[in-house]
Structure 1
Amino acid sequence: MGLMQCERSGSKNSIDRLLHFAARLQKICCNVVNTTPLCLSHSHNRGMLLCSLGALLLLFSSVDVWYFLRGVVVAVQAWFLPPVWDVLAEQSVPGRVLPHDLDYMGHMNNARYLRECDFARFHYYMRNGIFRTLHSLRATMVVGASTIRYRRSLAFWEAFDLRTRIVAWDDKSFFVEQQFVSQRDGFISAVMLCRQNVLRSNPESILQLLCKRKVECPDYPEELQHWISFISASSQALRAQSGLKDTTAESSQENTGEQENVGEQEHLEDKDK
């Protein structure tokens, strides 16, 4: 119930802000065509049409409207689907390459892969209860790092499955793997690794509250260990370049690797999830 109220409240607030912004844009458009908002209450059909079209044009050019609408659709879909009780179980959502996903070469734009991964993680956390648990703990998660490898392009109208699963975690972050699998032949067209930093809590507390028991972390795959080593090396190099003292400890292959401190996280280009 807490998650449902939270999602309803968040969606309602976003919609209210968009409507308020659209109303302000409409007033501007009415002034441009030498009319006022009162044109809506008279027979000035032409002025009303210009106001509405102008407001929509400014709205779509100023705000990524489709992103917010897509977020609402994903939330509603996950809300009405049955929950996934196994928090480590892989989940799959279908997708298709649409015209607005294409680049100049007629393939799915590279940036669209990351966008689709964002929505898939949102769907994933809603169904397995992690979002609900985050809300209970007054915690949140941000993307601390991500790496994607493109193996084969996705063509126009090609159908695919986007598979998401938690691979492992440490005392500060979840490590998530996402795969774009072509429905045509099962080929993995792209694979992404993502580190989700937990703020104001930790993965162990989240899983303990969600599962009502201690959940053992799976063994780290070899590619994940190398990826964490890359992040650690990059962190040290950037600290040296910025003249900052490296206060993080080196880790062995059995644990998660180096973690950035709070000061560095504030300088990362993180996104809320």
Structure 2
Amino acid sequence: MLLLVLCALLLLFCSLDVWYFLRGAHVFVHAWFQPRIWDLLAEQSINGIVLPHDLDYFGHMNNSRYLRECDFARFCHYMRSGIFMGSCKMGAKLIVGASTIRYRRSLGLGEAFEIRTKILGWDEKAFYLEHRFVSKRDGFVSAVMLCRQNVVRGSPEKLIEFICKRKIECPEFPEDLKHWISFISASSQALRAESGLEEKNKQMLT
């Protein structure tokens, strides 16, 4: 019986990223019992530590782990700000449309850090967020990530009004975010042209 259980656990760990789901469950439960954040634009933070399964061949936190940790940071932010429950009640979905990250200094084994997350602004289709990995050792910003969170079957403005029961003025976009949005738009147009979508759309309109 014990052998069967061990084999089942081995199969589970080989076929699923079990630690991802355990970490997600921990973030969900922890955020559920935290006080509600009523200021949608307020910066929020969650703590983390570099564990052995986070490491790459060079003994640093794997590049992909940063992106995964940002998933948890956003989920915690959405839980505490009411965005998650609001989107569920509205029937909307939040899907990452784009992200970019700049690595400044690697995080090593056992190093504690916090991810500081804030909403920089929004447009008619998406929220734009910033994540900062800040080392607890000396306060150094080890990495910075920008993320575009698309709102499917809804819009940021409608979602904000549903949550806050009032309209909130979108803050002015920082210059680096403006450049990043321009890059996303240019990349999208180039890919559409490459696949022939633009030409097909023109033919349909004529």
**TM-score, L = length of structure 1:** 0.72
Q: Cα–Cα, structure 1 residues 129 and 160, in superposed 2: closer, same or farther, change >3 Å?
A: same
Query: Hey, what does 2:16 align to over in structure 1?
Result: 63
Q: Aligned pair count? A: 201
Question: Match for residue 53 of structure 2?
Answer: 100
Q: What residue is the counterpart of 1:23 in the other structure?
A: none
Question: Which structure dedicates a bigger proportion of its chain to strand?
Answer: 2
Give the aligned residue type for 1:135. Answer: C
User: Equivalents in 2 of 1:116, 1:239: separation in Å?
Assistant: 31
Pairing 1:234–2:187 present: yes
Map residues 1-273 of structure 1 onto 2, 5 A cutoff.
48-245=1-198
- What are the superposed Cα offsets for residues 23-45 of structure 1, whole Å, 9 maximum, x if unpaired? xxxxxxxxxxxxxxxxxxxxxxx
| Paired residue type of 2:15 | S
1: CA distance, partners of 2:199 / 2:32? 44
SS of 1:58's equivalent in the other structure is: helix
Shift of 1:64: 1.3
* Equivalent position of 2:204 in the other structure: none
Unpaired runs of 5+ residues, structure 2, are 202-206
- Contact in 2 for aligned 1:148/1:192 (Cα 8 Å): yes
Is the Cα contact below 8 Å between 1:236 and 1:246 reproduced in 2? no
| Mapped partners of 2:199, 2:37: distance in 1 | 41
Contact 1:163–1:181 (CA<8 Å) still a contact in 2? yes
**What's the offset of the Cα at 1:135?**
1.3
RMSD: 1.3
SS of the equivalent of 1:197 reads strand
Distance apart, 1:57 and its partner CA: 0.8
1:247 CA displacement: 9.5
TM superposition score normalised by structure 2: 0.95
Q: CA deviation at 1:169?
A: 0.1
Decide which moves more: 172-181 or 58-67.
Answer: 58-67
- Corresponding residue for 1:37? none
Q: Which runs of 4 or more aligned residues in structure 1 lie more than 4 Å from their structure 2 counterparts after TM superposition?
A: none
Structure number with greater Rg is: 1
SS of equivalent residue, structure 1 residue 154: coil
Separation in 1, partners of 2:36, 2:60: 34
